[in-house]
A and B are shown apart, each in its own frame.
Chain A
């Protein structure tokens, strides 16, 4: 090591080694940057949820503290400007329940029948053509559906309710009513129900169907007694997705269901849903810190909790259905 030549050689080797070491370090840093960047992106979704929860709870907390949770959940009137102000969420919840209920009455039977038809009966080409075009139903912007409900279905229903039998049921239909909003909402969620249920039914193994055919079952019996029960958890998940869509749907009800909060279960009347209330209050100027402002968040919290329950149930069902086969 003493000769100058050896020293030079050693230095050259060292510099080479340091170059590769630099490369290696840079590579490691780059990997670290990439992985932590990806991690941060994934964690951002948790941050969003946390933010939603914190904001909803945090902003509605003063509202509950000032006016009491019991009143909020049991009072049957919602009138913040009245004297004394009434703050019962029930009128808003009732309207949400009615519109959702009507939507489900429309969407669940139709969606299920369509799913059975497409998965068990329809020829391949027809299924391939119809499934995407049905999915377009859920691609239509909801404000367009609102327009449709208000200015097409509602006048149409008015005419229908002048006919003999129907006119005994409903005497007076206001322009904005929960019935038309609910029906259109049901049409909107058909693809959520039918598409997912169809996927679930298609994933039922052919063997089960063949067993049923071998025992002399026809397609209908097979679909009803073999395929449908086997795909039940997937179908349940589809239903739940549809329900949570209907509850959270805003624009259709904001346009077509009315803006008067009152406790009613009459589908032919008008009513203000939770989502409509939020839209109504945020459309005008609502200054920060007022009870109105906090009430928006309280309503949002109720909505969030209801949909959360359904979402978690749906997630659990989907998990089960993935494990089934």
Chain B
């Protein structure tokens, strides 16, 4: 009896200790990520952020004035509109317009970005305009918030609460407005690479990343989705499809640098093209092709066969079934896989080094929009390029540019992590929506 209870106690302790070990191991992973972020911020934040901001109190009065202007505009408008459009106006045109306006957060964010650019160009960099714009931006959203309060609580209490809330939101907005324009060193994002450490920026790098990603997306997604559709919907079990199957799983494990070697030979030796945005984009597209294929296949496989049978029964051909049923239903899964694949492509450096991407580049590719007749031009596809990770690699081995490298890394990591977060949220939403 004693033995058994001892054994039980021993077993319990065993579980307990393993839990600690497991949690510690998990913590190692998570903490490394944190250490990485801290190290990058420590080294590189100085390039992105103006720390003098915090010593420069007069700038903070800008924040205050912007805040007051925005508040003076938004609060009376919002509260009066909320009070006027009570329940009996529920279906009026005004409330419809307000509801639509309040929903378009994306438009508001876009406007803010545009305004930041305008501010940087000094088109109207004064507090009055900032305040008015901010007030206009937040008003519709605030109206809906305050209406909710008005509807749910006794009117006076609701009005007071909503006014407080408005003040808070507008205050945050004002801080963000002034902060973004004064705190961020926008010139880091808007100047070219340079041998002068105080002037060097990542403009060419992020423009290059944008261009390369566009090409990669336009190549990898159609090709990958089509291949997956063939494998899931058309392929019969035979030696050849089995070969393709093994091959794709193998391709996913081929080192990325091998793709670079293949592209080096194919493009620069066989076709005699110089290293350009197009070549870089296609190389990365080949690299992420297996990821897109696997994700699309998973998405197609999760569609029940009854959907296909229903389409066939209604007289649809195979192509129509795919076009009007299978692809729309698998869009969420395809989007998730593609987003993850694009984030991988964005961080990829090795194959681009091999095909000869520049580490140091001082001029932008030609603009895709032209003043003269066809108005669009594809010359940018054929111009030399650099990308963010390439720029970071170059700067890492350059003495005196460590902070630039860290800042580039910070930009890169924030980009990839937010893209991944977007993928996770898309996956979550799709999973919630799916009800077969």
Contact = CB atoms under 8 A, between A and B. Distances in A.
A110 to B, nearest CB: 5
Interface in B210-241: 222-224, 226-227, 229-231, 233-235
Q: How many interface residues does chain A have, given as a range?
A: 35 or more
Contact of B255 (A135, A191, A303): A303
Given A30-B319, A136-B417, A148-B36, A45 B290 contact: yes
A39 interface: yes
Interface in A207-258: 216-221, 223, 241, 244-245, 247-251, 254-255
Given A51-B262, A247-B255, A279-B257, A42 B405 contact: no
Given A110-B28, A282-B354, A300 B226 contact: no
Given A44-B223, A139-B343, A304 B402 contact: no
Given A248-B254, A255-B393, A311-B254, A140 B416 contact: yes
A321 B12 CA distance: 31
A315 B249 contact: yes
Interface in A69-109: 109
Contact of B253 (A42, A279, A310): A310
B266 A255 contact: no
A42 B226 contact: yes
Interface residues of B, number: 90
A304 B318 contact: no
B40 interface: yes
Interface stretch (B15-23, B94-102, B192-200): B15-23
A113 interface: yes
A31 B320 CA distance: 9
Nearest to A310: B253
B291 to A, nearest CB: 12
B169 interface: no
A249 B259 CA distance: 13
B185 interface: no
Given A312-B250, A315-B250, A282 B353 contact: yes
A223 B22 CA distance: 12
Contacts of B393: 143, 146, 251, 254-255
B149 to A, nearest CB: 32
B39 interface: yes
A34 interface: yes
A141 B396 CA distance: 14
Contacts of A151: 39, 43, 396, 402
Contact of B261 (A55, A117, A143, A221): A55
A132 interface: yes
Contacts of A244: 253, 255
B308 interface: no
B380 to A, nearest CB: 23
A41 B231 CA distance: 10
Contacts of A247: 255
Interface string A175-193: 0000000000001001100
Interface string A124-168: 000000101111110111111111101110000000000000000
Interface in B275-290: 286, 289-290
Given A147-B406, A278-B354, A311-B249, A141 B413 contact: yes
Contacts of B25: 109-110, 113-114, 117
Interface string A39-61: 11111111011011001100100
B14 A187 contact: no
Contacts of B260: 278, 282
Interface string B246-271: 11111101111111111011100100
A49 B39 contact: no
A197 interface: no
A9 interface: no
B397 interface: yes
Nearest to A28: B317
A247 B359 CA distance: 25
B384 interface: no
B22 A219 contact: no
Contacts of A56: 258, 261-262
B18 A241 contact: no
A187 B32 contact: yes
A114 to B, nearest CB: 5
B420 interface: yes
A174 interface: no
Contacts of A55: 261-262, 265-266
B33 A45 contact: no
A31 B319 contact: yes
A320 interface: no
Interface in B384-403: 389, 392-393, 396-397, 402
Interface stretch (B48-56, B81-89, B344-352, B363-371): B344-352
B178 interface: no
A110 B24 CA distance: 9
Contacts of A117: 18-19, 21-23, 25-26
A134 B265 CA distance: 37
A122 interface: yes
A286 B265 CA distance: 12
Contacts of B231: 42
A296 B268 CA distance: 15
A47 to B, nearest CB: 10
A271 interface: no
B123 interface: no
A187 B31 CA distance: 11
B30 interface: yes
A124 to B, nearest CB: 15
Contact of A248 (B14, B250, B257): B257
A218 B318 contact: no
A279 B230 contact: no
B35 interface: yes
Contact of A250 (B12, B23, B349, B402): B349
- 4 closest A-B pairs by beta carbon, nearest first, are A248-B255, A117-B22, A141-B347, A41-B226
Given A45-B293, A152-B39, A304-B254, 12 more contacts: A31-B319, A38-B227, A55-B265, A132-B424, A137-B32, A137-B33, A142-B347, A142-B349, A220-B14, A278-B257, A288-B269, A303-B257
Interface of A: 27, 30-31, 34-35, 37-46, 48-49, 51-52, 55-56, 59, 109-110, 113-114, 116-118, 121-122, 130, 132-137, 139-148, 150-152, 187, 190-191, 194, 216-221, 223, 241, 244-245, 247-251, 254-255, 275, 278-279, 282-283, 288, 296-297, 300, 303-304, 307-308, 310-312, 314-315, 318
21 contacts: A34-B319, A35-B230, A55-B266, A110-B28, A110-B29, A117-B18, A137-B29, A140-B347, A141-B412, A143-B347, A143-B392, A146-B396, A147-B392, A218-B15, A219-B15, A220-B18, A250-B256, A275-B257, A275-B350, A279-B257, A310-B253
